[in-house]
Amino acid sequence: MTIQNILQSATQTALQKLFDVSIENVEFQTTRKDFEGDITIVVFSFLRQIKGNPVEIGTKLGEYLKENVAEITNFNVVKGFLNLVFSDAYLRDTFYQVFNSSNFGFKEVVSKDAVMVEYSSPNTNKPLHLGHIRNNLLGYSVAEIIEAAGNKVYKTQIINDRGIHICKSMLAYQKFGKNETPESTGLKGDKLIGNYYVKFDKEYKTEIQKLVISGMSEDEAKKKASLLVDAQEMLKKWEAGDTEVVTLWKKMNQWVYDGFDVTYKALGVNFDINYFESNTYLLGKDIVQKGLESGIFFKKEDGSVWIDLTAEGLDEKIVLRADGTAVYMTQDIGTAIQRTKDYPDVGGMVYTVGNEQDYHFKVLFLILKKLGFDWADNLYHLSYGMVDLPEGKMKSREGTVVDADDLMQEMTDTARTISQELGKLEGYSASDKENLYRIIGMGALKYYILKVDPKKRILFDPKESIDFNGNTGPFIQYTYARIQSLLRKADFDYSKGVAIDLHQKEREVVKQLQDFPDVIQLAAKNHSPALIANYTYDLVKVFNSFYQSVPIFASDNHEEKIFRIQLSKKVGDVIQSAFGLLGIEMPERM
């Protein structure tokens, strides 16, 4: 039975005895830090049924609880709030439940109603960039958090491997590539192909300028430029299964996939299932036909098929073109349905996609509900804001994107520079140092991005993120490393429980630890790694306050030393677990 259950029952009994009223629910809050107490009962909520002064009501209730509930040793009343103080014995008992839990905070995974989390979903005409980093970090972390909360999770991506943008890279490679390969150039495959996407755009603009100079309007030149016409023709050949085009497409895409794999590994993310647009772009057409027959969709005079969502505050949305070809909405409808066929235990899906697609997903989810799929109630768009750098906005066609690999390397380099300036790496081998720089750099990057609410836009400053003070990844990693150092110094057995009087700073650490399971559940419910990140920062702040105020090894009382090392160890364990949910590694030494 939780302390809230105990207090709820005791409060209901007290109010019945003291005021002859029956209260169904008791509202609890965490006691504000400027007041003494560990948990607060909101007395104001009783005033509908109990007439009187809230301070007097709170005082009578506090006296009853102090006398009748073993876990409560004191109380105070501030206006309409009853602040209760836990006994040392209760806090010690709860701590040892935490201390002896091997997987504290994590629920056992149940296979019913699995959740499929989609993220990354790149195009195969360019490498991953800064925007993909936020997408991948968010999607991966949310998947880890949902699993920690007790749900089976499938991590997936849909790779956009077809379309005119892919053909632009292919055509540029045909015309200008001279049979280059990743091996011959020393470039990752995704970077090599991305260069040809930029090359196409450059040559296309040059051709447009020449046509305009010759007297053609700019709009006409854009449509009639031979490069675009050839790319459109290549797309038609691909859709017709032309052997030469398909062979080139497979070769170039494989180069890109190999490049993506290197980036994903460096970023520390993975996938259980890959879907490919080349396999899914025709999905959904049969569903649209059935929906047309049942009256969910309607056909316009030109033969195009639409759905009318004006009654729901949206608008009319096309789901099939007049020539019978699918649009993205058609594909997404079909892909969602196919996923539930492929994985029948899936009861919900999370789509990690930027906020420019908010409207698209409102429409998609509504259409799936109208089509009668029960699981459509459990679809969620993990909408996130863009990531900006001090240098400004990114444009992939012009080759001005912030490359994901380059940014990760920059983070490692920055961590190297700062760590060398601090000069605390005596005794490290060269390889140990490089690994530590990578852990610090990547921890800084991931934490800086994930500590912000997903919906907010981020201005990312690499140097600011690698600060060993403040709300940063390296600051938390440093605290973890400090704890590991304490544990290495502890030359005594600290496996068994002890009974000591708790210092106020120890009480604060115990209470912060207790919150971890609830934070995981709340983060899963809200699809927000930021809740995990900021909980961890708060835990570290409380621990550091304890560390500075309470001597761990200097005490003459051996049992105090034991308890303080136990407390330190569990804080370290929870930091590691929380950062694991964010995909962040922890260093044993710093």
Query: What's the pLDDT tens digit per position in 27-55?
Result: 999 999 899 999 999 999 999 999 999 99
Task: Kindly tell me if the per-residue pLDDT of 395 is higher than 70.
Answer: no
Lowest mean pLDDT among 98-112, 158-172, 304-318: 98-112
**Tens-place pLDDT, residues 86-137:** 999 999 999 999 999 999 999 999 878 899 999 999 999 999 999 999 999 9
For 287-332, give the secondary structure using H, E and C. Answer: HHHHHHHCCCCEECCCCCEEEECHHHCCCEEEEECCCCCECHHHHH
% of residues, the chain, pLDDT over 90: 89
The H-or-E segment that residue 189 falls in is helix 189-213
Q: Looking at the predicted structure, is the pLDDT value of residue 214 above 60? A: yes
DSSP 8-class letter at 403: B
Residue 104 DSSP symbol? T
Residue 149 has pLDDT above 60, yes or no: yes
pLDDT at 378: 97
For residue 351, which amino acid is it? Y
pLDDT at 65 over 50: yes
Interval 250-259: pLDDT, tens: 999 999 999 9
So what's the pLDDT on residue 100? 96
Mean pLDDT of the region 71-95: 96
The full 3-state SS of 450-494, as one line of letters, equals HCCCCCCCEECCHHHHCCCCCCCHHHHHHHHHHHHHHHHHCCCCC
Q: What average pLDDT does range 327-336 have in this prediction?
A: 95
The answer to whether residue 502 scores a pLDDT higher than 90 is: yes
Q: What share of the chain in percent tops pLDDT 70?
A: 98
Task: Summarize pLDDT for 516-525 with one digit per residue, the tens.
Answer: 999 999 999 9
How far is 104 from 106, CA to CA, in rounded Å? Answer: 6
Average of pLDDT values for 152-166?
Answer: 96
Closest to 504 (Cα-Cα) out of 546, 543, 536, 555:
546
pTM over 0.85: yes
The closest of 375, 331, 337, 381 to 355, measured between CA atoms, is 381
**3-state SS class at 546:** helix
Question: Environment class of residue 433 by beta-carbon count within 10 Å: exposed (0-12), middle (13-18) or buried (19+)?
Answer: middle
Mean pLDDT, residues 348-363: 97
Q: What mean pLDDT comes out for the span 287-298? A: 95
User: pLDDT tens digits for 445-491?
Assistant: 999 999 999 999 998 888 888 888 889 999 999 999 999 999 999 99
Alpha-carbon distance 201 to 210, whole Å? 14
Q: What is the DSSP string of 496-541?
A: S----PPPHHHHHHHHHHHTHHHHHHHHHHHT-HHHHHHHHHHHHH
In this structure, what DSSP letter does residue 354 have? E
Q: Which domains can be identified in the chain, with CATH numbers?
A: 3-86 (3.30.1360.70), 163-271 (no CATH)
pLDDT band, very low/low/confident/very high, at 392 (cuts 50, 70, 90)? low
316-331 mean pLDDT:
93
Tokens 């009994």: give the residue: 13
Average pLDDT score, the chain = 94
- Contact at 8 Å (CB) between 189 and 258? yes
Q: CA 102, CA 536: separation in Å to the nearest integer?
A: 19
Q: What is the H or E stretch that residue 158 is in?
A: strand 151-159
Residue 40 · residue 30 · CB < 8 Å: yes
Band of the pLDDT at 397, cuts 50, 70, 90? very low
Say how far apart CA 474 and CA 440 lie, in whole Å.
6
pLDDT band (50, 70, 90) for residue 391: low
Structure letter (DSSP) for residue 109: P
pLDDT value of position 368: 97
